[in-house]
């Protein structure tokens, strides 16, 4: 499992920093939504009413109003992506490549598009609905909305575990098991955003890991190592996230535990103020001689 490339890392950090700078104060520390009975106690029957109940519950956990006017629309993949038996894993093309923004703004409220192939798979469905939640948050905040940015917003609002599971879904296809995804961002990119979420709020990822698949855990391990190797970036995210929005930050490579400790010591030493040398106190005798010398100079200058 590898990190996203340098350009991808920079985009994720700046996008997360922008969202955190603009809305972190009002949102506070979001609850991390987990796929368990505590968060989702409703019985699910893989039908329209069940999807509607699921969406309503997810909206309740998001930093938006519960009474938004929401329409649900179930759609099939477009012709460019449809393939094989039409199941989630039989879509043609690169995984996630055709996943457009799944929220449409109406005159009153919003329409959320749910792909029919996602409904039978819990990870695919909750990942897709998490994308929609992110888009709704951006719409309600009057922020620019696009598919990848809505996924970063979803992570920042506590839906990162659900989104991560939707970013790498093993599902049955005509030719056997195949990896699919319901996100535009890759599982590695979502993992970096999720690691930033934990760093931003000072929380540990141990609870989340219990609800992640093996692929997602591996991606989060690498992303966490990278975030922990960039302490200055984490400090900036805490104290001056608008700096990240502007792109004014450096990116350090992954270091081992000892390397991270040494790098942190180096940063602390560089930021430590230089010691100030105390000026010697002038004695009465030195002050008397200084005054005599100054008086002599003044006398010579006045006689010129």
Q: Please report, for residues 9, 27, 293, the alpha-carbon distance to residue 297 in angstroms, rounded to integers and kept in the order given.
A: 67, 70, 6
**3-state secondary structure at position 75:** strand
Per-residue model confidence (pLDDT) at position 81:
53
CB 188 within 8 A of CB 222: yes
Torsion of the alpha carbons at 204, 207, 212 and 215, rounded to the nearest 10:
40
Per-residue model confidence (pLDDT) at position 253:
84
Per-residue model confidence (pLDDT) at position 23:
94
Residues β-bridged to residue 73: 113
The structure's pTM equals: 0.81
Mean pLDDT across the stretch 36-53? 94
Helices (H), the chain: 6-27, 48-61, 122-140, 147-154, 160-166, 187-201, 206-209, 214-228, 231-239, 241-245, 257-271, 284-302
Mean pLDDT across the stretch 196-222? 93
DSSP state of 235: H
pLDDT grade for 174, boundaries at 50, 70 and 90: low
Per-residue model confidence (pLDDT) at position 286:
72
Q: In the predicted model, is pLDDT for residue 263 greater than 80?
A: no
Largest CA distance in the chain: 110
**In which region does residue 113 sit, left (phi positive, over 0), alpha (psi from -120 to 50) or beta (all else)?**
beta
Per-residue model confidence (pLDDT) at position 95:
54
Length of the chain: 304
């Amino acid at each position: 499992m590898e990190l996203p490339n340098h350009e991808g890392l920079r985009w994720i950090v700046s996008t997360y920093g922008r969202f955190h700078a603009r809305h972190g104060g009002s949102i506070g520390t979001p609850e991390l939504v987990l796929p368990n009975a505590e968060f989702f106690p409703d019985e699910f029957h893989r039908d329209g009413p069940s999807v509607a109940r699921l969406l309503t519950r997810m909206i309740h956990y998001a930093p938006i109003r519960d009474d938004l006017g929401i329409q649900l629309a179930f759609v099939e993949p477009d012709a460019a992506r449809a393939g094989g038996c039409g199941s989630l894993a039989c879509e043609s093309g690169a995984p996630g490549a055709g996943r457009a923004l799944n929220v449409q703004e109406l005159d009153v409220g919003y329409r959320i598009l749910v792909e029919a192939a996602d409904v039978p798979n819990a990870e695919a469905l909750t990942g897709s609905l998490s994308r929609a939640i992110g888009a709704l948050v951006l719409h309600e905040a009057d922020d620019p909305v696009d598919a990848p940015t809505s996924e970063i917003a979803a992570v920042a609002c506590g839906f990162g575990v659900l989104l991560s599971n939707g970013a790498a879904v093993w599902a049955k296809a005509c030719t056997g098991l195949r990896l699919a995804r319901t996100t535009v961002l890759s599982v590695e990119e979502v993992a970096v955003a999720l690691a930033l979420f934990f760093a931003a709020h000072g929380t540990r990822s141990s609870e989340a890991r219990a609800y992640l698949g093996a692929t997602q855990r591996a991606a989060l391990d690498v992303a966490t190592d990278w975030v922990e190797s960039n302490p200055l970036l984490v400090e900036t995210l805490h104290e001056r996230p608008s700096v990240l929005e502007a792109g004014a930050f450096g990116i350090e490579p992954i270091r081992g535990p000892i390397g991270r400790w040494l790098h942190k010591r180096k940063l602390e030493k560089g930021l430590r103020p230089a010691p100030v040398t105390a000026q010697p106190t002038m004695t009465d005798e030195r002050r008397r001689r200084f005054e005599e010398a100054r008086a002599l100079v003044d006398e010579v200058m006045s006689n010129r």
